[in-house]
Amino acid sequence: MGQIAEPYKMSLAAVSKHLQVLERADLIRREKKGNFRMVQLNADSLRAAQAWLAYYETFWTGQLDALQNYLETAETPGEDVRNGNSGAGTEEE
């Protein structure tokens, strides 16, 4: 854990707490080997998390693109694009 804490200037207690959270999320495994505690990445759990994030990245990218397209099609700031009426209050016959 000292090697993990060193580049981040974190206390060993703080590193331990972070590792506990990652371990509960099944993202890492810890194993004691002699005087050392080895930390190993659980790649299967990370793959599942990455797949979940990729799905939502695609979803939100599509939603934001649609919002941008919607906003770009509004001709004037006073236009009510929800029902096609302009903000001027006049109607053409």
Cα-trace Rg, the chain: 26
pLDDT tens sequence across 30-63: 888 888 888 899 999 889 889 999 999 999 999 9
CA 4-21-32 angle, 5° bins: 55
| Residues 53, 47: Cα–Cα separation, whole Å | 10
| Mean pLDDT along residues 69-75 | 84
Does 25 score more than 60 pLDDT?
Answer: yes
Does 65 score more than 90 pLDDT?
Answer: yes
| Residues 40, 43: Cα–Cα separation, whole Å | 9
User: Which pLDDT does position 35 carry in this prediction?
Assistant: 87
Q: What are the sequence ranges of the domains in the chain?
A: 2-41, 44-78
- Residue 25: CB partners within 8 Å, gap ≥ 6? 45
Torsion of CA 48, 52, 54, 57, to 10 degrees: -160
